[in-house]
Amino acid sequence: MKKTLAVSLLIAGTLGTSASVYATDTRARFMAANCAYCHGPDGKSRGAIPSLAGLEVGYFVEQMKAFKDGSRPGTVMQKHALGYTDAEFLAMAKYFAAIK
Ligand code: HEC
């Protein structure tokens, strides 16, 4: 009985891990969709607004933190940055950095 429980917990744990990896990716994509209106689909801007696709992860996160704490002035980005946590900045940074 005890062994069965342990095995099912192990399976649940494994499934839980892969499910959360998937959820992170989906969530990053979902968050990134909020940026597409200005930064272009897939972060490739066609106008004056800078592209996000291919930006270096560290740079991206630093810019978002700077917008959030006000140390980098911006027109609209401060408002956008306020809605996200550092972990979410990182998830979005990785998502955009992976786009070629
Ligand atoms: C309403 C339009 C708009 C939306 C939506 C928007 N941005 Fe921006 N973004 C800008 C503008 C304009 C700038 C240039 C700085 C400024 O004026 O605020 C910018 C600059 C940036 C920069 C700095 C780029 C660089 O090369 O230094 C990053 C990073 C960024 N945005 C990320 C995001 C992310 C992530 C989202 C979605 C959560 C987002 N933006 C949503 C308009 C927008």
What distance in angstroms lies between residue 12's CA and the mean position of ligand 1's atoms?
39
More confident residue, 34 or 5: 34
Rounded CA separation 12/90 (Å): 27
Report the distance separating Cα 64 and Cα 89, nearest Å: 7
Residues 6+ apart with CB under 8 A from 66: 72
Chain segment 54-64, per-residue pLDDT in tens: 999 999 999 99
Q: Read off the pTM.
A: 0.83
The reported pLDDT for the residue numbered 89 is 97
Residues 97 and 50 sit within 8 Å (Cβ to Cβ):
no
| Of the candidates 55, 47, 76, 78, the residue with the CA atom closest to the CA atom of residue 65 | 78
Query: Domains, the chain, ranges and CATH?
Result: 24-97 (1.10.760.10)
| CA 71 to each of CA 64, 65, 81: distance values in angstroms, whole numbers, following the listed order | 10, 8, 12
Q: Does pLDDT of 3 surpass 80?
A: no
Question: pLDDT by residue (tens digit) across 24-81?
Answer: 678 898 999 999 999 998 999 999 999 999 999 999 999 999 999 999 999 999 999 9
Instruction: Tell me which residues have their CB closer than 6 angstroms to ligand 1.
Output: 31, 34-35, 37-39, 49-50, 52, 60, 63-64, 74-77, 80, 92
What pLDDT was estimated at residue 71? 97
